[in-house]
Amino acid sequence: MSALIDMLAIPVIRNAFIGMLVAGATLSTLGVVIVSLHLMALRFTLMHVGLLGAAAGMSLGFSATAGAFVLVPVASVMMGMLGQRFRISASSMTGFFMTGSLAGAFLLLARAGVPAMDVFGIFAGNILMLRRLDVVLVVVLGLAVVLAFVIGYREIQAVLLDRDLALSLGVPVQAVVAGLFLLLGAAVALALRLVGALLVDAIILLPGMAALRFARGFGSALVLSSVFGVIACAGGFLVAVRFNLPIGASSAAVSSAILGLSAVVTRGR
Amino acid sequence: MSSPAFLTDLTVTPHNEDAVTLDGVSAGYGEGPVLTDLSLRIHCGKLVGLLGPNGAGKTTVLRIAMGLLVPTAGQVAVLGRRLDSATDRSWVRLRIGYVPQVQAPPALPITVADSVLLGRWGCSFRFLRRPSREDRALVRETLGLVGMGELAARDLAALSGGQRQRAALARALARRPRLLLMDEPTTYLDQEAQRDLVQLIERLHAQLNITTVVVTHGREAGWRFDREIHLTNGGAA
């Protein structure tokens, strides 16, 4: 315990721990949205768009996080709007964005001659490079997510239950969906920084999936996903520090273990 | 069964205005018109069947009445108010209860009571305003009215299709509507559940006197409508 406290005195480690803890407590609730709105393909696409944003950032000489942070929310809102405007199915839209983003990312990285280790950093994350500004961003986004659920609890609940029903009630469905897409996009971009493109699901999806196996209502699903998110992120962090392992991968492993255990515990329900 | 006070609140006093009036309405979804120059009137207090084959425009009529689809031509009035602006359409949506087709079990965990409570959205609570004790009392009353009082705490996804439709009916009634619109409410239910739901809707109509419009393919579910409107190729007969 005292060793951990000593480690947390180091700014780099402290930033990483706070970032993971806040992300686990807040961004994990978006997993409930992903599952309820059937956005599995969308969040996968956003991860690819994040890669493109990060590649663009590195190629143009500014930060990978900034590139992802700009491009992912823009793409997520664009997909929502274009899908509704031109009546393109979600699967077609995600296929287009996913393939195009991946192609663009590889072309940019090759063209700019980005070193292989830096490219690996995009895929696997590099949380120990987290700066104070990154931590502030995680906290601000976390608060935005919580605030969205507090202010629009019933509206989000109605949209997640049935969009047509929500429309018939007069709920501003398009605004709610656009807001959720925006938060989801920003969360994916930030999670890229924390755990890398390949492990975004550890924070954003898996805790929500585990929570939905136990929850009896929307509120309990949000609370449980937050609890599982904290366990995954904080637990993964502690395991990584204790055994000198990559933090992102450790958190992903704990997150997967939580989902696996929840599947076993709730089997037959 | 619900309290007399609640029934007094929900029961619609008979009046002479038309519940729905479509006058020369044309409408569609961008790939050619679904309705062309359709005119029809639905009087208040009636149980009306809107019948016709697939593609005849039955659901489109409901969407127009709810203000979810703006016609390309013609005039629409619902509950005595012309739907000329977004404000008119919002006004009318607060006074309409909508029952959709049987839905697949939702991916979102939600109790039956919470799903019915959503029916109060816009009427007494919305962003930043929480549901009141009266809202929750109304939910209990409407669930009792459709025979679902004991299932209030159950997960909606765990119910049968017929029970989910009863919950949807309770949600529509929780709005204290003056007009109930139902889009093929018995489709995908087995025969027994169809018969039970039809009997419940007919009983509630007789009890509460709410104008009720039911979209259906035909009479296979045993409906006894006050009036039937047959839609064919975008026109009414």
Statement: residue A203 has pLDDT above 60: yes
Pick the residue from chain A with its C-alpha nearest to B172. A169
Residues of A numbered 13-32 whose beta carbons fall under 8 angstroms of chain B's beta carbons: which are they? Answer: 32
Verify whether the Cβ–Cβ distance B126 to A155 is below 8 Å. Answer: yes
Domain that holds residue B181: 4-14+45-56+96-236
Contact B175, B97 (CB under 8 A): yes
Pick the residue from chain A with its C-alpha nearest to B88. A170
Verify whether the Cβ–Cβ distance A216 to B109 is below 8 Å. Answer: yes
- As for how many domains chain B has, the answer is 1
- What ipTM did this prediction achieve? 0.86
Write the pLDDT tens digit of every residue in A46-101. 888 988 998 898 888 877 878 888 888 788 777 767 766 776 777 788 888 889 99
Touching check for B107 and chain A: CB below 8 Å? yes
Write the pLDDT tens digit of every residue in A103-150. 999 899 888 888 877 777 777 777 777 778 888 989 999 999 999 999
Pairs from A245-249 (Cβ < 8 Å, separation ≥ 24): A246/A124, A247/A16, A247/A20, A247/A125, A247/A127, A247/A128, A247/A195, A248/A124, A248/A125, A248/A127, A248/A194, A248/A195, A248/A196, A248/A199, A248/A202, A249/A124, A249/A195, A249/A199
What are the structural domains of chain A?
Answer: 2-262 (1.10.3470.10)
Residue B85 lies in a domain: no
Residue B222 lies in a domain: yes
In angstroms, the CA B156 to CA B106 distance is 7
Can you tell me whether residue B13 is helix, strand or coil? coil
Which chain A residues have a beta carbon less than 8 Å from that of B66?
168
Predicted TM-score of the model (pTM): 0.87
- How close A206 gets to chain B, by Cα (Å)? 15
Residue B226 lies in a domain: yes
Touching check for A269 and chain B: CB below 8 Å? no
DSSP symbols for B107-146 = SS--BHHHHHHGGGBTTTB-TT----HHHHHHHHHHHHHT
Residue B229 lies in a domain: yes
Return the bridge partners of B236, or none.
Answer: B231
Residue B228 lies in a domain: yes
Q: Which of A38, A87, A217 sits opposite B109 (nearest CB)?
A: A217
Least confident of A173-182, A193-202, A232-241: A193-202
CATH at residue B113: 3.40.50.300
